[in-house]
Copies of this chain bind each other. A is one copy, B any other.
Amino acid sequence: MREVHTPDAPGHTGPSPQAVESGGWLYISALFGNDPHSSVLPSEPRDEAARIFANLDAILAAAGGNRTDVVRVGIFMRALQRDRPVFNEVWQEYFGEHRPTRYAVEVTDFGRPGENRRFMVEAVAHIGV
């Protein structure tokens, strides 16, 4: 099992790596839309979603892969019906012709206390060996 690290995506305060690879499969820990350098969470939902995908790109690159390797994305939102439309717009700009599987649910909380993040993502990619 290989740990993946990049300064261009946020680190975790807890005991988690950004991603690990085993047998060509890359598992990515909970991804948030914070800026990797300032830790600031964008105030606009579009910017928060876009930052998640920029962070995902950085992790994929650090692992030796890219966005076309993404196979499945789990999406967690605090207000699904309110925020899904903008999330989907950003998703399509990011993935373009590449179409990973996904599921999206609304849950009551995730992330650090009081930050009120709108989006959290977990992802699996197949980058080969």
A→B interface (CB under 8 Å): 1, 3, 14-20, 22-25, 27-30, 68-69, 71-72, 74, 76, 80-81, 88, 91-92, 95, 99-110, 113, 120, 122, 124, 126
List, in ascending order, chain B residues with CB within 8 A of A103's CB.
29-30, 74, 76, 110, 120, 122
CA distance A101 to B59 in the complex (A): 13
B30 touches A113 (CB 8 A): no
A88 touches B126 (CB 8 A): no
B16 touches A99 (CB 8 A): yes
Q: A14-B102, A16-B101, A18-B101 are in contact. List 5 more A-B contacts (CB 8 A).
A: A14-B88, A15-B88, A19-B101, A22-B126, A29-B101
